[in-house]
């Protein structure tokens, strides 16, 4: 079904604009994505897309004209003024979509005998979170778990930084302490980075079920979560840098796991 909306005062437009804030996203249980690539990836991945908004001036992007899900979502032509009101970027792209949040549980990750999971504890920068999700997807991880105090997964900047990887693997939110206790009881390796660790990440066996814990940019992993980690490693550095960005550190660990699991055994 295709409709047109031209006024920024339309009630639906006002509701979509509320999705720019976390309160609006939580109340409506929806979020907004922007740009041809993200909309295309959401449709390809069978995400619960409710409606696609596209510029009546610029027209529907060619990549979306052959969408094979026609009829499952509403397609709405809108003015440039409407796009500007409901999107986050300074210069809006020609297409956006409203997507319902998925309800997923972290429990399914506990049963994976060789699961590779990233646990995020209090990361605040949306770009870092999005990059971590993208790296987890690229490395073939089983999923990502977000603890309390972490930046909103559906922040527009987070979504853009994932480059569509948000739709490719489970990204779930959970209370970390009880979940990690369960994981430890099941023999899962809970890996934390520490400057005091005696082993490097290159001396660590990532072939077993492993959950990589990544902490806040400034404070690191919280004390409670750190105590639950059963394996500490250090990422060696030869140069004079004091530390690595958390997304970079996570990517190094994920790709060491990928190397061991797929290319060369330790």
- My answer on whether 131 and 214 are in the same domain is yes
For 5, counting Cβ atoms within 10 Å of its Cβ (0-12 exposed, 13-18 middle, 19+ buried), the class is middle
Q: With DSSP H G I counted as helix, E B as strand and the rest as coil, what are the percentages for the chain, rounded to 5?
A: 35, 20, 40
Angle, alpha carbons 74-75-76 (nearest 5°): 115
CB atoms within 10 A of CB 44: 14
* Token digits of residue 109: 């990750």
51 C-beta neighbours (distance < 10 Å), count: 17
User: What single string gives the DSSP state of each residue in 153-165?
Assistant: TT-HHHHHHHTTG
| Rounded-to-integer distance, Cα 252 and Cα 135, Å | 9
Kindly state whether residues 82 and 192 are assigned to the same domain.
no
Q: Out of 43, 69, 100, pick the residue that ends a domain.
A: 100
DSSP state of 167: G
User: Same domain, yes or no, for 29 and 148?
Assistant: no
Question: Is residue 76 located within the same domain as residue 15?
Answer: yes
> Cα separation of 26 and 19, whole Å?
9
As a whole number of angstroms, the distance between CA 201 and CA 234 comes to 6
**What confidence tens digit (pLDDT) does each residue in 68-88 have?**
555 688 999 999 999 999 998
Cβ atoms 92, 26 nearer than 8 A: no
Model pTM? 0.92
Q: Clarify whether residues 96 and 112 are in a common domain.
A: no
Tell me: do 64 and 112 sit in the same domain: no
CATH code of the domain in which 19 resides? 3.30.1330.30
Same domain, 136 and 9: no
Is residue 92 located within the same domain as residue 118?
Answer: no
Q: Which domain holds residue 37?
A: 2-100
Map tokens 């990440």 to a residue: 201
Decide: 136 and 169 in contact? Cβ < 8 Å: yes
Q: What whole-number distance in Å separates Cα of residue 107 and Cα of residue 174?
A: 10
Neighbours of 57 (CB within 10 A): 11
Domain boundary (78, 100, 122) is at 100
Helix axes 246-262, 126-138, angle to 10 degrees: 10
CA distance 189 to 182: 12
Q: Is the same domain home to 252 and 201?
A: yes
Per-residue pLDDT of the chain (266 residues; tens, 9 = 90+): 568 999 999 999 999 999 999 999 999 999 999 999 999 999 999 999 999 999 999 998 888 887 655 568 899 999 999 999 999 887 888 999 999 999 888 999 999 999 999 999 999 999 999 999 999 999 999 999 999 999 999 999 999 999 999 999 999 999 999 999 999 999 999 999 988 888 999 999 999 999 999 999 888 899 999 999 999 999 999 998 888 999 999 999 999 999 999 986 55
């Amino acid at each position: 079904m295709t409709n047109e909306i031209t006024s920024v005062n339309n009630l639906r437009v006002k509701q979509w604009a509320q999705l720019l804030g976390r309160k609006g996203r939580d109340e409506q249980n929806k979020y907004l994505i922007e740009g041809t690539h993200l909309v295309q990836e959401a449709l390809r991945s069978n995400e619960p897309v409710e409606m696609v908004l596209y510029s009546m001036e610029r027209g529907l992007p060619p990549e979306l004209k052959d969408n094979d899900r026609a009829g499952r979502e509403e397609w709405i032509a809108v003015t440039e003024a409407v796009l500007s009101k409901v999107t986050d970027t300074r210069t809006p792209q020609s297409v956006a979509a409203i997507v319902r949040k998925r309800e997923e549980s972290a429990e399914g990750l506990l049963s994976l005998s060789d699961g590779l999971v990233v646990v995020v504890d209090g990361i605040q920068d949306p770009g870092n979170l999005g990059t971590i999700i993208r790296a987890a997807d690229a490395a073939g991880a089983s999923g990502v778990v977000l603890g309390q105090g972490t930046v909103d997964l559906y922040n527009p900047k987070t979504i853009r930084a994932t480059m569509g990887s948000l739709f490719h693997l489970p990204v779930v939110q959970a209370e970390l302490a009880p979940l990690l206790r369960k994981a430890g009881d099941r023999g899962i390796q809970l890996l934390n980075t520490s400057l005091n660790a005696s082993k490097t990440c290159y001396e660590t066996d990532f072939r077993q079920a492993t959950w990589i814990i990544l902490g806040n940019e400034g404070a690191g992993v919280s004390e409670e979560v750190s105590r639950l980690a059963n394996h500490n490693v250090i990422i060696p550095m030869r140069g004079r840098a004091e530390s690595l960005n958390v997304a970079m550190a996570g990517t190094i660990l994920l790709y060491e796991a990928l190397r061991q699991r797929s290319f060369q055994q330790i």
